[in-house]
A and B are shown apart, each in its own frame.
Chain A
Amino acid sequence: MRNTKLVTLEEAIHRSGLRDGMTISFHHHFRGGDKVVNMVVAKLAEMGFKDLHLAASSLSDVHAPLIEHIKNGVITKISTSGLRGELANEISHGLMKEPVVFRSHGGRGSAIASGELHIDVAFLGASSCDELGNASGCPRSENAKSICGSLGYALPDARYADYVVVLTDDLVAYPNVPKSISACEVDSVVVVDSVGDSTKISSGAIRDSKNPRDILLAKLAAKVIINSGYFTDGFSIQTGTGGASLAAVKYIRESMLEKGIKASFALGGITAHMVKLHEEGLIEKLIDVQSFDKVAAESIAHDQLHQEVSAIEYASANYMGSAVHALDIVILSALEVDVNFNVNVLVGSDGIIRGAVGGHPDTAEDSALSIIVCPLLRGRIPCIVPKVTTLITPGKGVDVVVTEYGIAVNPGRPLVKQRLLDAGVQLTDINDLAAKARSIIGEPDPLPFGDQVVGIVMDRNGGVLDKIYNIVD
Chain B
Amino acid sequence: MEIKNAVAGTLESGDILIQIAPGEGLQVDLQSSVAAQFGRQIKAVIAETLSGLGIDNAYVKATDKGALDCTIRARVTAAAVRATGKDVWKD
Contact = CB atoms under 8 A, between A and B. Distances in A.
A448 B40 CA distance: 14
Interface stretch (A254-262, A285-293, A338-346, A439-447): A439-447
A319 B47 CA distance: 59
Contact of B67 (A349, A350, A378, A380): A380
A444 B37 contact: yes
A319 B37 CA distance: 42
Contact of A445 (B14, B40, B67): B40
A379 B36 contact: no
A109 interface: no
Nearest to A444: B37
B11 interface: no
Contact of B66 (A381, A442, A444, A446): A381
Nearest to B42: A380
B37 A379 contact: no
Contacts of B68: 380, 440-441
Interface residue tally on A, bucketed by range: 10 to 19
Given A379-B66, A380-B67, A448 B36 contact: yes
Nearest to A446: B37
Interface in B1-19: 13-14
B69 A442 contact: yes
Interface string B53-91: 000000000000111110000000000000000000000
A351 interface: yes
B66 A445 contact: no
Q: How would you classify the secondary structure of chain A's contact residues: helix, strand, loop or mixed?
A: loop
B31 interface: no
Interface string B31-44: 00110111111000
A350 B38 contact: no
Contact of A379 (B40, B65, B69): B65
Nearest to B39: A445
Contacts of B39: 445
A173 B25 CA distance: 77
Contact of B14 (A349, A351, A379, A448): A379
B38 A442 contact: yes
Nearest to A378: B66
Contacts of A445: 36-40
Contacts of B66: 378-381
A379 B41 contact: no
Interface string A357-390: 0000000000000000000001111000000000
A433 B53 CA distance: 34
Interface in A312-366: 349-351
Contacts of A442: 38, 41, 69
A349 B13 contact: no
Nearest to A440: B68
Contacts of B65: 379
A350 B13 CA distance: 16
A380 B70 CA distance: 11
A349 B37 contact: yes
A447 B33 contact: no
A437 B55 CA distance: 31
Contacts of A381: 34, 66
A233 B66 CA distance: 44
B36 A441 contact: no
A447 B38 CA distance: 10
B36 A380 contact: no
B62 to A, nearest CB: 13
Nearest to A471: B36
Nearest to A350: B36
Contacts of A351: 36
A447 B65 CA distance: 18
A380 B13 CA distance: 10
B5 to A, nearest CB: 27
17 contacts: A349-B37, A350-B34, A350-B37, A351-B36, A379-B13, A379-B14, A379-B33, A379-B34, A380-B66, A380-B68, A381-B66, A441-B38, A442-B38, A442-B69, A445-B39, A445-B40, A448-B36
Interface of A: 349-351, 378-381, 440-442, 444-448, 471
Given A379-B34, A442-B69, 13 more contacts: A349-B37, A350-B33, A350-B36, A350-B37, A378-B66, A379-B66, A380-B14, A380-B67, A381-B34, A445-B36, A446-B37, A447-B37, A448-B36
